[in-house]
Structure formats: structure tokens, C-alpha cells
Amino acid sequence: MRVGDSSFYTRLLAGLALQRQRSDEDLGRLADGKNVRVGSDDPSGHHASMGLRARLTRIAGYDRAAGSARTDLVTIERVLTEAIGVVTEARTEALAGASGPSSSANPIRADQVEALRDQLLLLANTEQGGRYLFSGTQTRTAPFDPTGGYFGNGDEVDAPLDANQQVGATLSGQEVFLNGVDLFTALDDLVQALRINDTTAVAATIPTLTAGLDHLTAVHGDVGIRLRTIDQTIERHADETVELVRRVGEIEDADIAEVIVGLESSETATAALSQAAARYLGRSLFDYLG
Amino acid sequence: MSLFGYFSLGLQSMNAAQVGLQVAGDNISNVFTPGYARRRAQLSPGFPVQVPGGYLDQGVVVARLQRMEDMFTQASLQREQGRHAGSEERLRGLRQVESLFGSLDQGGTIAAALAGFSTALTEVAAQPENLALRRSAVSAAEGLARSIRGTYDRLRAQRGLEDQNVQSLVSETNSLAEELARLNREIAAAESSGDVSAPLRDQRTLIVEELVRLTGGTAIPGANGRIHFSLPGGPTLVTGDDALPLGTSIAVDGTTRILSGADGRDITDRLREGKLGAILYVRDETLAQKMTGLDTLATEVINRANALTTGAFDLSGAAGGVLFQPDPPGGAGVAGAIAVDTALDQDPALLALSGTGAPGEGDIALLLAAIPADSLPGLGGRSPQQFLADMQTDLGDDIVQVDVDEEVSRALVESFTAQRDAVSSVSLDEEAVALIESQRAYEAAARFIQVLNSMTEVAVNLGGR
């Protein structure tokens, strides 16, 4: 085919522009290490990556909620441990007060049990970060008044751990301290019995306190299970996050070695084109005519 | 023929060589001139005369100056140039629209804001009475509204820019149409003698190529060297000596409509080729679809969120108000107006997150947090996140397709250009040879005259003896 002089230049410019465009694209990939940034880079990859990233962010949200629930439940667990200690101590006093020889010390025991009751009330009204942990979902209301009257509700604050998975982050004080066994009334009865040195009445409080202790221990165990659930979920999320990040990287990240090879290839092609242009372009028969 | 008659034959030969030299010089001068088609002096033998023994040509004459052009290749090239210009322009416009949605890593995008909204509401669901978390949730809702609004505003601004481009291209098209009609008139006048007016045709080729690139229209050869030009879909822009300029009007939505003919027919929707068609496609289809898509997304988010919060209770246990304005959303343009209710800005305790009125109950917060991933009927059963991903993927697919079209079209333009140049472009090697040929022909003719002169001298001297 006949080739005119302008065709040489047109082809040279097109070739140089193409190499420049490839180098620019490769440099962009090298700059941020990404192969997929927008939909047109890889429509299906971009779509998949958006879904994976949404899940990653959602997991971060769940983990934050789980973290806050964990903080509450750790406190509740500590409070329950202390409450068990308080009731155990009261029961010990009841056992001692119910036996004949030491009954003369019962009025002193009454004062001790009264202090234990106040301590239990304090524990039942535990507040953390502006929320009462034993008010159910009435978290801004102190659950118990000094008489042991309950002002919370029977619900629990549900903290989300994942889609369709929640964990109770607070407890109902009614469920913990009043359900089955009214611990405050039991302690009041014990104080009263000790104060008047009625050993029969004192003895009568022992089964109640034992049942209360069993109940607190069961609740404590339930809180432990909740904490384990949270830990397992966070652990599962960590594993899932690693996998999601790996998949996002697989889709989005550029193969740096490939990019560098591409850049070198463009550079070589540009150099070859330029050298050829310098050598051959602009030459014609005129250069050889005398 | 007499001996003296041969002098004119030599002169003719020298003249023909001079024309050859001039043509070569012209070609060399215009070796890189855009639109220039090389010329060639077509020589032919002079009118034959009878001599004893047969017929002899009377020297050489320049039969005509040819403009080397392959009409078929030129037409193919122009058609492809229109497609290529359209693909390039469409690609530019689509890439700009895509950039308005941001990249995967970029903050402030709608996708990031939806995720942020979900995270903040999930977190507050575990501690609904926490005012700091409530403030974060309101702030995340504001972030979501701002990202939708911002993207919509940028799309609207982009549509405005594309509209300005439309006006500017219509004006450019009309100028070129006038120019083409003028050149048609001048060519018809210049070529009435039968000669081809190569310089005018060169100019006209450039004008037609530019018109095709702008509109994707078609040049149709007419009588007396004229060229008619029609737009895609049939409307005529230039008919022979007359241009039929395009008109414009402003539609209700503020966009420029393109009118054709004396009756002012609206041809906007028929123009989808060339630069103008590409801009109209981006303005009226891509941008319009994306803006409508964002309106739908905003409407669904507002409806869903407000339905939840108005059926719920705030931190004080009072009946909840709306989360987003406008309520009800309204329709077109809602994505440009979506905002968090101002009351919540001032007091995040008013954010209704409880289904029962208990301050520690955050079921509604959890439902709000799920909105980005919830399947919503107004989004065709897709979630806002899927809807957004689909919207961006559709755009990405469109760009990939146009990118392929552009590459194919560019290759075809290069191929047709090479084919056209094979006929029309100047080769300096050829011109060097042509120069030598003309020079030799001139020298030979001069030598011929010199010989004639000697012969004449001999003949004259015969009488003198």
C-alpha cells in the first residue's frame, strides 16, 4: 500500500499516545496499589467488593455493640459475684444466729446483716456510664428504692451481635433479686428475727437464703454464657474479617509485579518508537539528491 | 507540420513540465496540511494530426489537474469518525458521571455513608440512652443525607454543564452548516467550467469531517459538486446551497431542546450520534437515570426511616418524630433536598429509637441500622446498598461497553485514514521523483528546441549560400 509522509507522523503520535495512556494507567495502579477503584475498572468485581465492604463495616458496628455489651456484662458478672458473697455471708450469719449457744450475739448479727442488705441494695442499683444495669430497659431509673421496691421492668437491653443475633446486655432486677426469692425481704426478715433473737424465725430464713443463693449463682452462670457468646461472636467476626479483607484485596489490589512489567514494556515501546522516529522520520529521497 | 510549428510543440512540452514542477511544489508545501489531497497533473498527448504514413500527436497538454481522492473510503472514514467522536465524548461524559459517585476507598460516598449510618445505629441500639452515641447516630444520618444530596447536586451541576455543551455544539454546528452551504455555492460556481476546484474541496472536506464528528450525520453527494448534509434520523442540515440551522428551546426541566426545520420539530431524542448525540445521551439518559435513581433511593430511605421513627418513642418516652425531611418525600428532586430533621440536630434525645418507650430499649435503632441492607419494595426488592451497587455497576458496564466501541472505532478510523492516505496523502519520495521527471522533461524540451533552432539555422543558411 502507498504510504504518505503524514501517515508516518500520525502513526507515531498514535503509538506514543497509546504507550503514554498505558503508562499512565499503570502508574495510577502503582500509586495506590489498586486495580479496581470504580465500576468501570471491573463492574462485577466492583459490585462484589461493595457488598464485601458493606459487610465489613457492618461487622465493625456489631463488634462495637458487642464490646459495649461485654463491658456491661463484665460489670454485671462482678456485681453478681459480690451479691453472692453478700448473701452467702448473710446465710452464714443466719446459720450462726439460729444455733442456741451464740444466740446472745444475734442483735450484733442483725446490724451486720442490715449492712449486708444495704450493700446488696447498692449492688442492685449499680450504674455504669449513666445506665442502671438491673432496671431492665428502664435504664435511666434506679431499679430499687431503700425498701426494696422495684421500679425497672422485666425486659433486657438487647445488644446486636449480628443479623438476627442479640444478647441481653442488662438484667431485670426483678428477675435477679425478687423472682422466686425476694432477697431484700428475706434479709429484712433475717434482720428482724436476729434483732428480737427469735432463733426459730432466724432458722426459717435459711432455706430462703439458700434458694436465693442458688438463683444468683444460676443467673451468674447465665451471664457467663452470654459473655462467652459475645467472645465467640467477636472471634468469629475476626475470622470473617480476615477472610473478607482477603477477598476484597483479591478483587481490588493490583498485581504490583505485573504493573511494573507493564510499565517497563511501555517504556521500552516508547523508547523504540522514539528512536525509530528520530532515525527514519523526516527522511526522503530529497536527502540523497545532489 | 512546418519546422517552425515544432517550436510550439517544444514550448507545450516545457509548459507541461512547468505545471508538473508547480504541482510537485504544491504537494511538497502541503505535505502536512490537514484535509489536503495531493494533486496530480494528468498529461495527455496533443490533438493528433495526419502526417505521411499515419497520425502523430501534437505534443503534450495538461488534460486536467486531478485531486487524488477515493470517495468511497472518504465516506467510510467520515462515518467512522462520527462514531469515534461519539464514543470518545460518551466515554468522557460517563467517566465524569462515574467519578461523581466516588471510588471504593473514598470517604463521603453514598456507599460509605450507608455503611456509617448502619454502624452508628447498630452501636446506639446497644445503648440507646447514651447521648453521645445518639449524637453520633444523628451525625451519621446527616452524613447519609449529605452524601445523597451532594452526589445529586453534582449530577445536577454536571447536567447543567452538558446542557451548556449542547448549546455550544448547536451553535458550532450551525456555523459549520453555513460554511458548508457557502462552499457548495463557491464550488458549483468554480466548477461550472468543468474543472475541479481542489482547494475549495479540501476546505469542504474538513468542514464535512467536523460536522460528522459533531453530529454523526451523513454527507450526500448532490448535483454540480454540491454536498447535502443530513442529521441522524433524517432531518436536513444543509441542502445544496442552503443551510437549515438548528434552533433551540428550553424545556420545563430547564434543559435545552434541539429544533429542526421551519416548523421547529423537536429532534433532541433522535440525536444519539457524534459528539452532540453523545452529550445528549449523557445528559438525557445517564444523568437523568442516575438522578431518578437517587430520588428513588432517597424516597425509600426517608419513607422507611420515618415510618419506623414515627411509630416509636424518643428518649423521654414521647411519641417520635421523623428522622428525615422532606416528609412526605415528594418525588423528583427529593435527593437534592434530603436532610435530617432540624429538631434532631439540636436535641438527639428526640431521636425515636425505642419501640416501647423504655429508654434502654433500642429495637427501632436496630431496625434503622438494618435499612441499608433491607430489601425495600420501592427499590424492586433490593436493599439500598444493592440498589446503589447495581446503579454503579450499570454505569461501569456502560463505560466498559463504550470503551470497547471507542477502541474498535479508533482502530477503524486509523485503518480508513491509512486507506485514504494511501490515495490522498503526499509522499515526499514520489514528489522528489516527480520533480526529477519534470526537470528532465523540461531539459529535454529545451534541448528539443535547441535542436530545432540548429535545424532552422541550417535551413536559413541554405538560402544564404
- For the stretch B109-168, pLDDT in tens is 999 999 999 999 999 999 999 999 999 999 999 999 999 999 999 999 999 999 999 999
- Interval B16-31 mean pLDDT: 93
Q: What is the pLDDT of residues B390-432, one digit of tens each?
A: 999 999 999 999 999 999 999 999 999 999 999 999 998 899 9
B223–chain A Cβ distance below 8 A for any pair: no
The pLDDT mean for chain A works out to 91
B232: helix, strand or coil: coil
**Cell numbers placing B423:** 490515495
What ipTM was estimated for this complex?
0.87
Indicate whether A119 pLDDT > 90. Answer: yes
Mean confidence (pLDDT) of chain B: 93
Phi and psi at residue A246, to the nearest 5°? -60, -45
Q: What is the pLDDT of residues B191-231, one digit of tens each?
A: 888 888 899 999 999 999 999 999 999 999 988 889 999 99
User: Would you call B422 an interface residue with chain A, using a CB distance cutoff of 8 Å?
Assistant: yes
* Strand locations in B222-347 (E): 227-230, 236-239, 242-243, 247-250, 256-260, 265-266, 324-325, 339-340
Cell output for B1: 507540420
pLDDT at A203 over 90: yes
Q: Which of B127, B360, B400 sits opposite A43 (nearest CB)?
A: B400
Do A159 and B125 count as a contact with CB atoms less than 8 A apart? yes
What does the pLDDT average to over B253-282?
A: 93
| pLDDT confidence bin for A100, thresholds 50/70/90 | low
Which residue of B lies nearest to A282 if distances are taken between CA atoms?
B428
Chain B contact present for A153, CB below 8 A = yes
Hey, how many other C-beta atoms are within 10 angstroms of the C-beta on B312? 25
- Beta-ladder partners of B408: none
Which residues between 330 and 359 in chain B have a beta carbon less than 8 angstroms from any beta carbon of chain A?
354, 356, 358-359
Give the C-alpha separation, B334 to B344, whole Å: 20
Tens of pLDDT, residues A126-179:
999 889 999 999 999 999 999 999 999 999 999 999 988 999 999 999 999 998
pLDDT of residue A101: 63
Binned at pLDDT 50, 70 and 90, residue B438 comes out as very high
| pLDDT beyond 80 at A289 | no
Q: How confident is the model at residue A207 (pLDDT cuts 50, 70, 90)?
A: very high
Any bridge partners for residue B222, and if so which?
A: none
Q: What's the half-sphere exposure (Cβ side, CA atoms, 13 Å) at B38? A: 27
Residue B26 exposed, middle or buried by CB count within 10 Å (0-12, 13-18, 19+):
middle
For position A103, what pLDDT does the model report? Answer: 65
Nearest residue to B323 via CA among B295, B297, B337, B304: B304
Quick one: CA torsion of B381, B387, B393, B395, rounded to 10 degrees? 110
C-alpha span between A109 and A198 (Å, rounded): 12
Using only C-alpha atoms, chain B has a radius of gyration, in whole angstroms, of 37
Q: Is A286 on the interface with B (CB under 8 A)?
A: yes
Mean pLDDT score, B22-48: 92
- Of B2, B1, B59, B14, nearest to B450 (Cα)? B14
CA dist., res. A278 & res. A106, Å (int): 113
Confidence bin at A290 (pLDDT 50/70/90): low
**DSSP 8-state class, residue B220:** E
B370 vs A241: CA distance, rounded Å: 19
Q: Per the structure block, which three cell numbers stand in for A239?
A: 475470622
Q: How many Cα atoms occupy the beta-carbon half-sphere of B131 within 13 Å?
A: 9
Please, are residues B181 and B238 in contact by the beta-carbon 8 Å criterion?
yes
Q: What is the DSSP string of B119-149?
A: HHHHHHHH-TT-HHHHHHHHHHHHHHHHHHH
The 10s digit of each residue's pLDDT in A235-268 is 999 999 999 999 999 999 998 888 899 999 989 9
**A138 contact B CB<8A:** yes
- For residue B239, the SS3 value is strand
The CA distance from A124 to A145, in Å, is: 10
A290 at interface of B, judged by CB pairs closer than 8 A: no
In tens, the pLDDT along A49-83 reads 999 999 999 999 999 999 999 999 999 999 999 99
Cβ within 8 Å, pair A5-B31? yes
Query: Among candidates B181, B200, B189, B267, which has minimal Cα distance to B232?
Result: B267
- pTM, two decimals, is 0.88
Average pLDDT over residues B272-282: 96
Q: Which residue has the cell 484535509?
A: B35
